[in-house]
Amino acid sequence: MRKIKAIIIDDSALVRNIITDLLESDGSIEVIATGKTGLDCVQLVEKLRPDVVTLDVEMPVMDGLTALKELSQKNIKVGVIMLSVLTQHGAKATFQALELGAIDFVPKPSTAMKMDMEDIGKLLKSKILGYFESEHRIQPPRVKVKVGNFPSIKKVPVKAIGIGTSTGGPNALQILFKQFPENFQYPIFVVQHMPAGFTKAFAERLDEISKIKVKEAENGEIVRPGWAYIAPGNFHMKIQRKDMNISIELDQGSPVNGHRPSVDVTFDSLSECYGPALLPIIMTGMGRDGADSIKRLRDKGSTTIAQDEKTSVIFGMNRQAIDLGAIDHIVALEDIVPQMIRIIKERGM
């Protein structure tokens, strides 16, 4: 496989040097240029046509958000990964960048971050490699599986929704949550692979744009109908039934499929609590987290949904679930909520 061509844009020479060293450490990525302003970003991308760009937000002359708008206006397609500062303002700007077309983000190297440089480097490289492979279809052959061709299982009414997603998920979830009707009375449990510190701001962002209540999940809290709970970064989210109440349990058990939070952990926990009354959805993201657990849910009698390839930033997690024969309905992003509501009605209120 040819080397992935990357451009690094950051007004700090130290950060540019650190990111260059991290990316070039194993020889799969070549940093072909660096710049320190958003204007540099637009000019270098136009001239060199890289595969991927790492982009800071706060820069002189032209900031990162303006650079993203310029690239969009010029109709230049390139994978942009934001280097995001762990502050309320930084998180807000990050989610704006995702709305403007950035594919993902990683924490910016800083003394305030608990993640060390090696961890940030591994995370950034995995996101770049996943995006590149998805864009160039460097994937194993598809397994031909008939969708929805399953033995008849007694259907029970839906009582809860589970959603698992990764790369491309923050923007996709915003589109999803704008569609939930005000009277939606089912609890929603969301696992979005995201570094610690960003999930609270992301939950607040979803709450702003949604007609239902959205929050970052807290350990021990009682689940309420019509509320959505976002798994906090660096914690697995599990659900427990105690007497008449259902509560959330957070723990820092070992990563599963390389992730904490893990979709598989949450889906398996939801399966124990709700069984086939759970409606699970798997969306855009690299890797296979969630594929095995959604298959177990399908086998138990849940009706399952996967986001389609066309509307996915990375057709990975959902692809794995489809190839396992775990999916009843493969639908475009904008059709997920309507399909969800149809299933709820079909299975009885």
Last residue of a domain, one of 101, 135, 169: 135
Which of 26-35, 91-100, 204-213, 319-328 has the lowest average pLDDT? 91-100
Do 79 and 126 lie in one domain? The reply is yes
How far is the C-alpha of 24 from the C-alpha of 289, rounded, in Å?
27
Q: What tokens were used for 325?
A: 């024969």
Instruction: For residue 86, give the CATH number of its domain.
Output: 3.40.50.2300
At 90-139, the pLDDT tens digits run: 888 898 999 899 999 988 876 555 567 778 888 899 889 888 887 766 55
Overall domain count for the chain = 2
What is the DSSP secondary structure assignment for residue 103, as one 8-state letter?
-
Both 182 and 103 in one domain: the answer is no
Is residue 305 in a domain? yes
Q: Kindly state whether residues 336 and 215 are assigned to the same domain.
A: yes
Q: pTM of the full predicted structure? A: 0.89
Same domain, 227 and 107: no
For 172, the 3-state DSSP assignment is: helix
* Same-domain status, 25 and 82: yes
Helix (H) or strand (E) holding 33: strand 29-35
Q: How far apart are CA 179 and CA 112, in angstroms?
A: 37
| Residue 140, pLDDT above cutoff 60 | no
Would 146 be classed as within a structural domain? no
Residue 178 shares a structural domain with residue 319: yes
Range in 1-5, 7-11, 142-146, 253-257 with the lowest mean pLDDT: 142-146
306 phi/psi in degrees, rounded to 5: -130, 140
308 in the same domain as 165: yes
Taking the C-alpha atoms of residue 307 and residue 319, their distance in angstroms, rounded to an integer, is 9
Task: Assess if residue 26 is contained within a domain.
Answer: yes
Neighbours of 199 (CB within 10 A): 22
CATH of the domain at 178: 3.40.50.180
| Residue 339: domain span | 160-346
Choosing from 84, 166, 210, 269, the catalytic residue is 166
Kindly state whether residues 182 and 224 are assigned to the same domain. Answer: yes
How high does pLDDT run on average in the chain? 90
127 and 51 part of one domain: yes
- 302 lies in a domain? yes
Question: Would you state the pLDDT for residue 118?
Answer: 79
In the predicted model, is pLDDT for residue 242 greater than 70? yes
Does residue 61 form part of some domain?
yes
Which pLDDT tens digit goes with each residue over 266-312? 999 999 999 999 999 999 998 999 999 999 999 999 999 999 999 99
Residue 155 lies inside a defined structural domain of this protein: no
Same domain, 319 and 191: yes
Q: Is the pLDDT of residue 29 over 70?
A: yes
Which of 95, 118, 135 finishes a domain?
135
Is residue 67 domain-resident? Answer: yes
- If asked whether residues 115 and 18 sit together in one domain, one would say yes
* For range 196-221, the mean pLDDT: 94
Residues 248 and 201 in one domain: yes
Boundary-marking domain end, from 92, 120, 135: 135
Could you confirm whether 236 is annotated as catalytic? no
Given the residues 11, 40, 193, 262, the one annotated as active site: 193
Residue 147 lies in a domain: no
* 166 is annotated as an active-site residue: yes
Q: How far is the C-alpha of 349 from the C-alpha of 344, rounded, in Å?
A: 7
Catalytic entry in 51, 56, 289, 308: 289
134 in active site:
no
